[in-house]
Structure 1
Amino acid sequence: MPRCANKGCQKEFEEANNEEGSCSYHPGGPVFHEGLKSWSCCNEVNKPVLEFDQFMALPTCTKGKHSSKPSEPAKEAPKPAESSSGPTEISADGVETYGFSKLSTDPSSSSSSSNAPAQAVAPTASAPAPATKIEEEEQDDPSVSVTEGTGCKRTGCIHKYVDEEQSRGEGKCRYHPQGAIFHEGSKGYLCCKRRVLEFDEFLKIEGCKEGKHLFVGSKKDEKKEEKIDCRLDHYQTPLQVHVSAFAKGADKEKSIVKFEQQQLHLDLFLPANKRVTKTISLYGPINPENSTFRILGTKVDIVLQKPSAISWPLLELPPPGTELPPGYALTFGVSGRTGTVGGKEIVLSPEELARRG
């Protein structure tokens, strides 16, 4: 049976039973702006959210018929930063994949920059990277029953539970073990290399890891302390990274935030016997003695002090073997007649120029 290509549906359907109202979908396109994610067709009803999983769970807003052909993608407003990237690569099937051309290193291009000097960029390769702690992935407790039709919780998997044999026995799950990443128009996952421009193509990126489906997760003992994760959000200035750890009701007396040269340790005690223990390998080094934190009612505000004006394309250092597109090393400064506003050429640090050859 064909699978519906309407955004938010993705269900299999029979053409003979494809009646009006059988499909629930989003006619508009996704909108990503400053970390917030929403749909253009219903962003007044379904308010923008921060997490990608929350975005994918937003209820659809339109009824209609299933369609095996994708609708015309909504045109997004051009972003100034995207003018700095090179041409995209177009595969044989017409799919655009995010690419970069070699940037000009002509020293004359920086001579007309504004009086404000461009900030330095990515950390040099000589900085030692801390060891990344590999956490064991959650698995289903086989003693917990699953309701038929329950969807797999793993990112990128659309399988729904049928029975023990098909879904837990022989069933194989193809999924993405790491989260989605969006940067200057490109879309992909941290765990695999492919980057695309269109959101419809992003949804089609096949999982890069194979394992067992996750329907209910591991069995929890309510008498024991429950270890949970917390959502992190961040933004940066040239000399600081501001991090918000969303841990509501953290105990100010017992909770600990510890800074190291390139690691951030969280040990947060929450209500209902829950606890967040998290070690973050930071993308770049910090000054631990100048970094600060505040425990508030709904979150923990953290300010990481950089030793110099460098840009972090990510908060966390990617696992070994993860490759980021070259554009992720580009940061604050551009040159041109009007300086950083409307500038044409990106200013790179000497280290980045040397690395690009």
Structure 2
Amino acid sequence: MPRCTHKGCGKDYDEATNAEDSCSYHSGGPVFHEGLKSWSCCKDVNKPVLEFDQFMALPGCTKGKHTDVAPIVAPAPVAVKTEAPSTVAGGVETYGSAKPKPAAVAAAANEAPIHTPTPAPAPQKEVEEEDDLSVPVPEGAKCKRLGCGADWKGEAVSRGDGPEAVCHYHPMAPVFHEGSKGYLCCKRRVLEFDEFLNIAGCKDGRHLFVGAKKDETTEERVDCRVDHYQTPLQVHVSAYAKGCDKEKSKVTFETQLVHLDLHLPGNKRVVKDLTLYGPIDPEKSAYRILGTKVDITLQKPAAASWPVLELPPVGSELPPGYALTFGVSGRTGTVGGKEIVLSAEEMAKHNK
């Protein structure tokens, strides 16, 4: 059977029973702004959400017939060549026409050294969630793994030995950066949201329809969303953990690690380690526990740009241009800084 290409639908349908109100979909486009996600056609009805899974689950606001016609994709914009950074002053890389000073000259002038990211600790193997086979799967359930979304077709099909029991998915989070869309686990980057939804999974495994069985009598380990923006000397991190217990929760700092231990309502707990892209000054770093999130301020030892908050795992890919992204104080993930501060690694790329 054909699969509907309407945004927000993606269901298989039978043309013989394809009525005028068979499909519920979104007629507008996705809107991503400062961590919030919504659809332009129904943002007043379906309120913006934070998590990508919640965004994908927002119900369609428009009724119509299913279709398998490929959506029209707008032509990609012509890339504009950006002037390479060229002038170093006080450890700060700015845009201009002069050539960067060699390291020896900078040292002779007693200028601040440019930060070189230190290697990350040996990565720990992450255990992915699997279905508890004793938990019944409700009718109409879809696979929860990113990039899959397969429908539940019964035990024999969805958990059998056939091709429909194989899940093709993305094990790492989606990333949206300056119009580019993709996943941290694979290289492909696209501009259009429809193309992003069609990026084929880069890993094969078993479907995840219900997850692990929850024991209400024991503490449940959960994750929380983390956003950040930066200035030359600080990184401002927001860990979205609503209702965090101020007495029990704490954040501890090491030279290149941040440990989150957050106690949430409902016997839930976030235990999360952030392996940072660069070193920090633990003594000058601080945090505040608020009603809906934990605000964390990381103090850099010297002016430098971090391409990302966490040092990426070996083999992962960053979107082009990440090294030139700076935040504006008070906003999350916003491009707009006028002065670019590059690490030695990034400066070497531009001097080639």
- TM normalised by structure 2 equals 0.81
Change (3 A) 1:123 1:61: farther
Structure 1 residue 270: deviation in Å?
Answer: 2.3
Structure 1 residue 58: deviation in Å?
Answer: 1.6
Mapping 1:1-357, distance limit 5 Å = 1-73=1-73, 83-84=80-81, 104=84, 110-111=96-97, 124=116, 127-170=118-161, 171-332=165-326, 351-356=345-350, 357=352
Return the letter of the residue paired with 2:5.
A
Percent identity over paired residues: 66
Change (3 A) 1:262 1:84: farther
- TM normalised by structure 1 equals 0.80
| Mean Cα deviation higher: 209-218 or 302-311 | 302-311
Structure 1 residue 104: deviation in Å?
Answer: 4.6
User: Does structure 1 conserve the Cα–Cα contact (< 8 Å) formed by 2:85 and 2:96?
Assistant: no
Structure 1 residue 325: deviation in Å?
Answer: 3.4
Residue aligning to 1:92: none
User: Does structure 1 conserve the Cα–Cα contact (< 8 Å) formed by 2:229 and 2:326?
Assistant: no
Unaligned runs of 5+ in 2: 88-93, 99-111, 328-334
Return the letter of the residue paired with 1:144.
V
Structure 1 residue 242: deviation in Å?
Answer: 1.6
Change (3 A) 1:250 1:342: closer
Structure 1 residue 255: deviation in Å?
Answer: 1.6
Q: Give the aligned CA root-mean-square deviation in angstroms.
A: 3.1
Q: Could you say what secondary structure the match of 1:169 adopts?
A: coil
User: Does structure 2 conserve the Cα–Cα contact (< 8 Å) formed by 1:156 and 1:176?
Assistant: yes
Change (3 A) 1:332 1:256: closer
User: Does structure 2 conserve the Cα–Cα contact (< 8 Å) formed by 1:29 and 1:74?
Assistant: no
- Number of equivalences: 322
Unaligned runs of 5+ in 1: 86-102, 113-119, 334-339
